[in-house]
Chain A
Amino acid sequence: MLSKRIIPCLDVDRGRVVKGVSFIDIQDAGDPAELANYYNCEGADELVFLDITASSEKRKTMIEVVEKVSSEVFIPLTVGGGVSSTKDMGNMLNAGADKVAINSAAITNPKLIQNCSKYFGSQCVVVAMDAKKTNTGWKVYSHGGKIETNKDALNWAKEAYNLGAGELLVTSIDQDGQQTGYDNELLKNISDSVEIPVIASGGAGKLEHFNDAFKYGKADAVLAASLFHFRKLRIIEVKEYLSSNGFIIRK
């Protein structure tokens, strides 16, 4: 049986991991490869690296990061942040990424999803979306959740699926950073309307939240960042907990 996946997400700026990764047994908390190794040993099922570098010139260092991480850690690696063309995606895949997440560029140009999945196969095209609750549903925001679009999250999820996305990474802007749980209603609605896997993101704060994202949100995978980076919870703990709750988990 297929396991539910636990995925830590690391923010990378100019080739270095940023945002509070402070473990005692890590020598260089900014080194992407060392952290990738650490999470691999902790039992991470996949890794997500998000490039938050603002300028495209400095973005080239991300290619080097992917090269290095994928030479040392042999689990699936998703890379996102600033990917705006099939060429960008090709560069990431050639460097060793297994999947590439596209967000704002896909909103501006939905055909990008289609082109990428045609060139590289839908298995490596992850459409990431940031959604915020409204009175009537959920609205999609672009550019790291800063700009409101006219897209409804459910419709956008269906559109992305129909255009050839292989997976959806759904972040709740309302829940992100709150540590009060994922937006399971959003997740369930999206999961029910597409046939591709859905990764839950934004809001994990305690063990029960992972259970709920799978049970009520019908997610196929859960992503968390600071919770793991600050070691509020360890991946091993989450896995043991989920396993004892009857979920199928890779140990």
Chain B
Amino acid sequence: MKKSKIAIIDTGSANLHSVLKACKRVGTNVSITSNKKDLYKSDGIIFPGVGSSDAVMNYVEKNNLINTITTLMDKGHAFLNICLGMQVLFNSSEEGNKKGLGFIDGEVKKFQRDNKNINLKIPHMGWNTVNFKSTHTIFNGVPNKSNFYFVHSYYCKPKENKYFLGETNYGISFCSVSVKKNVIATQFHPEKSGDLGLEIYDNFTKKVSG
């Protein structure tokens, strides 16, 4: 098995280095880049993001990467999108004014306190379980209803159920894992979710090395 090359898209986000460290831990040949060629030459791409969705979109736009990213996604290139990296896959977000990539039909909404959830703390911060609606190689070795680490105030709402793979409950039930083509997106942070999180990076590396 050849050693696969993983490119982490530089989104200017604070968690880039945590993602890099997790990849290195599972023995991946990995680098952070904002260069188109690196993305094309890679076997798999990780799209991380924390902060605000407009900031991430602005950063990627500034580096002229939007077309490259959507083209590669449409062509079936392997992606692992994390947190805001998941949210920007959708059409729009209540958080900002910028359009998302529109790769998955749906919107990104803010958690709300309401009559049923009068004490809901926002951000949704901490460990929560993911209920997998179906299996996927990226979650090999990860038991259903495992705990993962979340930090976010907005959640994704895909229009079509077929892209809704993992479900988490926080006041409401929301989509915490979405998959379309070869793009796997998690709202939680696998790089901060202990051994099970590292398992996901390991699986992603194995998957792209074919």
Contact = CB atoms under 8 A, between A and B. Distances in A.
Contacts of B41: none
A221 B169 contact: no
A93 B21 CA distance: 13
A71 B19 CA distance: 10
Contacts of A221: 126
A197 B192 contact: no
Given A98-B192, A121-B14, A195-B113, A70 B126 contact: no
B182 to A, nearest CB: 25
Contacts of B22: 74
A11 B75 CA distance: 50
A99 to B, nearest CB: 8
A110 B147 CA distance: 35
A149 B25 CA distance: 45
Interface in A1-53: 1-5, 40, 45
B142 to A, nearest CB: 14
B33 to A, nearest CB: 17
A120 interface: yes
Contact of A123 (B119, B123, B170): B123
Nearest to A71: B21
Interface stretch (B61-69, B99-107, B155-163, B193-201): B193-201
Q: What bracket does the count of chain B residues touching chain A fall in? A: 35 or more
15 contacts: A1-B128, A1-B169, A2-B124, A2-B170, A3-B128, A3-B147, A70-B18, A76-B192, A94-B14, A96-B17, A120-B50, A124-B14, A166-B151, A195-B113, A220-B126
Interface string B169-210: 110000000000000000000011111011000000000000
Contact of B125 (A40, A70, A95, A167): A167
Interface of A: 1-5, 40, 45, 70-71, 74-76, 93-96, 98, 120-124, 166-167, 195-197, 218, 220-221, 250
Interface in B41-70: 50-52, 55
B50 A96 contact: no
B102 to A, nearest CB: 23
A218 B119 contact: yes
Given A3-B127, A70-B18, A75-B149, A196 B194 contact: no
Contacts of A167: 125
A123 B151 contact: yes
A196 B21 contact: no
B121 A220 contact: yes
A93 B50 CA distance: 12
A197 B126 contact: yes
B51 A196 contact: no
A69 B54 CA distance: 31
Given A196-B121, A220-B121, A250 B127 contact: yes
Contact of B51 (A4, A70, A120, A195): A120
Contacts of B113: 195
Given A1-B128, A96-B21, 19 more contacts: A1-B169, A2-B128, A2-B170, A3-B147, A4-B126, A5-B127, A74-B18, A74-B22, A74-B191, A74-B197, A75-B194, A96-B18, A120-B14, A120-B51, A121-B55, A123-B151, A124-B14, A196-B122, A197-B125
